[in-house]
Amino acid sequence: MGRFATGVTVVSSRWQGIDHAMTANAVTSVSLEPMLLLVCVEQESRFHDAILGAGRWGISILEASSRGTADWLATRGRPLHGQLGRLGVRRGPATGVALVAGALATIECQTVSTHAAGDHSIVVGEVLSVEIADHPGDALLYFRGRYETLK
């Protein structure tokens, strides 16, 4: 699958008063009617409990200059408290989750189903809101084990 270019996102949730976030490229559209998306989350990650517990989550589609954000939120063992302090974030209007400022687009979802799949869970969410950035930046992509941009 390393030969399959994917977009890079930050998936975020707020559970028990704490912001949780992770870098993800296993995000996809599922349905247009109703509008559904999915994200795959490792069952042993602390984000897994947060997204399932909260039931509401956001996706920030990263632009090319956001490699540092993607790396930071992919770092295992980073501190939970304050992990978003070094990032520019704003609160989503529908869910209140932290969304990455400057993202190409942000999407807020409410979980409608989960499915066990090996060591991950597939979390399907109904879209509650979508915001598209005014700036036409390039997308951050992941391909062959490294970050790339559209050329």
Greatest Cα pair distance, the chain, in angstroms, is 42
Joined tokens for residue 40: 């795959």
pLDDT band at residue 3 using 50, 70 and 90 as cut-offs: confident
Name which of 70, 24, 72 is nearest 47 in CA terms.
Answer: 24
pLDDT of residue 86: 87
pLDDT digits (tens, 9 = 90+) for 23-60: 999 999 999 999 999 999 999 999 999 999 999 999 99
Architecture of domain 6-149: Roll (2.30)
| pLDDT at residue 150 tops 80 | no
pLDDT digits (tens, 9 = 90+) for 58-84: 999 999 999 999 999 999 888 888 889
Joined tokens for residue 117: 């799949």
pLDDT of residue 151: 63
The arrangement of strands across the sheet holding 6-7 comes to 6-7, 140-143, 146-149
